[in-house]
Structure 1
Amino acid sequence: MGKVIAFVSRKGGTGKTTTAINLATMLFNLGHKVSLVETDTNYTLNTLRQMELFKTGANDKSVFQIIASDDRNVINQIDTLKADKKLDFIIIDSAGKHTDENIKKLSMVCDMVVVPTSLTQNDLLVTFQTVEDLKPARVLNPNLKIVVLPNRVHSSTKKETIQALLEQLDAIVTESRVPQKNTFANFSTLLPEKEFLEVSKELISLL
């Protein structure tokens, strides 16, 4: 049965979409069967996928599926994908603003919730709140992994600095980090970014 990995934050702009699609493209490139569910009703990934298919002439049956959904229907969508039993991973790119109810429901059906965060004060405050909101789900879903992924980190930032900023979080903080580079901001729904391989391997190893 496919493992469910959701990218969640209490605010937009933390990098949920970029990290979700980078993980999905990398896992697919490594030979895994993947579907990505996009709950942000702007449907950025669906739009980009159609543009890339048109430009490249690629066959949409040769790439992983990107499914348009929303916070109210995503649980049913996950249940449907799980029932198929053909997928290795189900990636959820969640919307920027959640209700408490939707966060609870989503975390109950996930194997891992990833909270991407930059090291800015505003993002860190939101990350602490997001982790606190997710913690109660571990009582009913004891296998749930809550993971914080340092994102858009300047290349000169030391590992010790990141650890000091995130050490108070009651969550797993990844050793790897996503650097602040244009290659991650200008993402593709078809091609994996090779520098995301280390992050992908670490996330999967935590499951």
Structure 2
Amino acid sequence: MPKVISFISRKGGTGKTTNAINLATTLHQLGKKVVLVETDTNYTLNTLRKMEQFKSKEEQEGFNIVGSQDHEVAEELTLMKQKRGTDVVVVDSAGKTTDEGIKKLCLVSDVVIVPTSLTQNDLLVTYQTVTDLAPAREINTKLKILILPNRIHSGTNLYTVRENLKNLDAIILPVIVPQKNLFVNFSTMSAEKEYHPVAQEILKHIA
């Protein structure tokens, strides 16, 4: 049965898509059988994959990218979890997901990751997002909520990160995703080696 890792936040621009794709490509490189699900109805990651395949002019076998929608994804994930052949399903949820959509997604997820920078706006959104996850966590008692420090200045230490996030009722990952172009200009086919420490920390929570 595959493990479901869902990236959730109450707003766009916090790093859900960037980290979902970096995690998926890294896990694929590590030999995991991965499916990436995006609930943005524009399905931009499928388009990116086609562009990369066209530019490379080579047949590269990557992981599957599946499009879904906020009101359908929970039911689709339930069906995926009943099938064999996949190790991890990574979900990139839309920024405008509904309260009902968030709850249903959490009920079928093993891990929820909330990426956040240390800006005041992102921190406020992160606090609200974690609060909104509480009802689902009362039902899905095994659900783990992880905070992923994202777009952090390379000179910022983990103590500063923890101090900013310490009041959150969630697990703060002991790694940071630096504010670097190599993480923003992501690929659906080539893993970024500097993302490996982040992926390894996330993997510890689905073992």
**3-state SS in 2 of match to 1:152:** strand
Q: Within 5 Å, which residues of 2 pair with 1:111-126?
A: 111-126=110-125
Q: Could you say which residue in structure 1 is the equivalent of 2:64? A: 65
CA distance, structure 2, for counterparts of residue 175 and residue 109 of structure 1: 25
CA distance, structure 2, for counterparts of residue 87 and residue 43 of structure 1: 21
Contact 2:39 2:73 in 1 (8 A): yes
Q: Could you say which residue in structure 2 is the equivalent of 1:101? A: 100
TM-score normalised by structure 2 residue count: 0.97
Q: For structure 1, which runs of at least 5 residues remain unmatched after alignment? A: none
CA distance, structure 2, for counterparts of residue 85 and residue 76 of structure 1: 17
CA distance, structure 1, for counterparts of residue 157 and residue 34 of structure 2: 33
**3-state SS in 1 of match to 2:151:** coil
Shift of 1:80: 2.7
Q: Could you say which residue in structure 1 is the equivalent of 2:154? A: 155
Q: Is 1:131 equivalent to 2:144 in the alignment?
A: no
**3-state SS in 2 of match to 1:24:** helix
CA distance, structure 2, for counterparts of residue 158 and residue 14 of structure 1: 20
Q: Within 5 Å, which residues of 2 pair with 1:9-158?
A: 9-59=9-59, 62-158=61-157
Q: Could you say which residue in structure 2 is the equivalent of 1:2? A: 2
Identity %: 58
Most deviating of 35-44 and 122-131: 35-44
**3-state SS in 2 of match to 1:36:** strand
CA distance, structure 2, for counterparts of residue 63 and residue 158 of structure 1: 35
CA distance, structure 2, for counterparts of residue 39 and residue 58 of structure 1: 28
Q: For structure 2, which runs of at least 5 residues remain unmatched after alignment? A: none
Shift of 1:189: 0.2
**3-state SS in 2 of match to 1:98:** coil
**3-state SS in 1 of match to 2:146:** strand
Alpha-carbon displacement from aligned partner over 1:59-101 (angstroms, at most 9, x marks no partner) = 36x1100001110111122123222211100000000012111
Alpha-carbon displacement from aligned partner over 1:173-206 (angstroms, at most 9, x marks no partner) = 0000100000011000000011110000000102
**3-state SS in 2 of match to 1:114:** strand
Aligned residues: 206
CA distance, structure 1, for counterparts of residue 12 and residue 181 of structure 2: 18
**3-state SS in 1 of match to 2:82:** helix
Q: Within 5 Å, which residues of 2 pair with 1:180-191?
A: 180-191=179-190
Q: Could you say which residue in structure 1 is the equivalent of 2:176? A: 177
Would you identify which runs of 4 or more consecutive aligned residues in structure 1 move more than 3 Å?
A: none
Over the aligned positions, Cα root-mean-square deviation in angstroms equals: 1.0
Shift of 1:53: 1.0
CA distance, structure 1, for counterparts of residue 136 and residue 74 of structure 2: 15
Shift of 1:42: 2.2
Most deviating of 127-136 and 49-58: 49-58
Alpha-carbon displacement from aligned partner over 1:116-140 (angstroms, at most 9, x marks no partner) = 0011000000000000001221211
CA distance, structure 2, for counterparts of residue 68 and residue 158 of structure 1: 37
CA distance, structure 2, for counterparts of residue 10 and residue 175 of structure 1: 23
